[in-house]
A and B are shown apart, each in its own frame.
Chain A
Amino acid sequence: MRFNLVLDVPDVPGQLLEVLEPMGRLGANIVAVIHQRDVKTERGTVPVQITIEGDKETLDKVMGALESKDIQILEVDGVLRKEQITTVLVGDIVEEDLQDTVSKLNQLKSVKVADLDLKMSDEPKNSATKMVIEADFGLRKEVLKNIKKLGAEKGFLVINEV
């Protein structure tokens, strides 16, 4: 059987090899690799498309190995594994402990803040932060609920996606 994967790989030397290594080691055949370094995500990572072939057991082992190496699997056979949720918070972001805000969002299993942009204002309560949160597919509702709850606790205006 075959798996078509889309992996999210950091744009630093040696990363592609890192991704391919468990495939070779565990005995999966690599059918195709599409790696275009100049096509990047907003976070500067490179989406790599790889097709691998093998029996189910081998392929499951490969998936397990990728996950244990913390390699982000974005898609399997066209089905999204991860999704990104963008949110903007308005309020006294720094005074309300930004680190705590992020770690509270990270608490949910397989959810992490992948990108954060902060814009300070002369008026501290007008400051804003934009966060890109990565979560396993299907967790969107729960993540949005958490963001709202957090916003209410810290007095932020929460602006979620539609």
Chain B
Amino acid sequence: MKIIILGFGAVGQGVARVISMKKDYLKNKYELNPQIVAVCDRSGAAICETGLDEELLIQTKNDTGKVALYPDYGHPDIDSLQVLDEVEYDCLVEVTPTDIDDGEPARSHIMKSMEDGKDVVTSNKGPLALSFQDLADCARMNGVEFKFEASVGGAMPIINFAHETLAGCEIESIYGILNGTTNYILSRMANEGSSYEQTLKEAQEMGIAETNPYQDVEGIDAACKIVILANSVLNLPVTLKDVEVEGISKITSESIALAKKEGLLIKLIGEASPDALEVSPRLVRLGSPFAVEGTLNVATLKTDLADDVTVVGKGAGSVETASAILSDIVSIWKIRK
């Protein structure tokens, strides 16, 4: 299976790493031989029709910051759309940075690939949260597979879990902690009694919160994920603007202390249900499945047959997120082989 990776940040490098780590396993178990035939970043591309060396790709990126400097096969003067045109491949892995204003360049990459009859795997929330239905229609019309397990909850299985493992159940609603950064901040505030500002600063120093934490702390990131779940699991044709969003920046140590007295914690919860599409701070009971600490993600699916089913997992991390992408690649392989 020939793969093109667009975007070579933490997730893209994670994909290269897991492919390298799992070569023998994939071959023995699934007769799958994934070859990375091209990788693009802002600097250009590395292209080799017989497969690039995964470790050398990561090393080149780490040493120079540019995949275009990959020995012998580097191309500094080529852009990603050109690569999709000129290189022969089976599956696109779209992992460029998320843009929540217009979803670009990921949206164009995904559309072009699907129109060219290629399967697509992505972790990119932007295009999914803004134009899910267009992308799903495009995949259907072109008869290609379009998978995005890694876009919600990183390593936590949810989309494929809902579609395949819970097949036969009607899923009525989904509630979840879908952002690790805010869960870390709220957990620390509850444990230490510290203020929001102080805890955010600490999280930034530890690299858990970004320098510009806006999308995380104001609930935008979680809202994107709730849109993806609403569309893909509940079949609700909604977009980001339909979500009622309230972040955690107004949460005070006083409110956390009051909740704690009652055996409650405050968590940023995303809800997709017939009643509401929202992200907001909510009270959860200590000892309930939502009382997870640190950067963990958790989601509960309310179903008609199986009642409540809850999944927990790491919501971020390079290899963890890549594990979800790899599972999508394997699913596509099972369909295509």
Contacts and interface: CB of A to CB of B under 8 A. Distances in A.
B281 A157 contact: yes
A128 interface: yes
7 contacts: A86-B283, A88-B259, A126-B252, A127-B254, A128-B254, A159-B259, A162-B282
A88 B266 contact: yes
Contact of B266 (A119, A121, A127, A159): A159
A141 B257 CA distance: 26
A69 B258 CA distance: 33
B258 A128 contact: yes
Interface in B210-232: none
B261 A130 contact: yes
Interface of A: 42, 86-88, 90, 117, 119-121, 126-130, 132, 141, 157-162
A160 B275 CA distance: 15
Nearest to A157: B250
B302 to A, nearest CB: 11
B48 interface: no
B254 A119 contact: yes
Given A42-B262, A87-B283, A117-B261, A159 B275 contact: no
- How big is the B interface, by class? 20 to 34
A90 B1 CA distance: 54
B254 A90 contact: yes
A39 B108 CA distance: 64
Contacts of A88: 255, 258-259, 264, 266, 283
Interface string B273-294: 0010000111110000010000
Contacts of B250: 90, 157
A132 B262 CA distance: 10
A159 B283 contact: yes
B175 interface: yes
Contacts of A161: 264, 282-284
B269 interface: yes
Contact of A162 (B257, B258, B269): B269
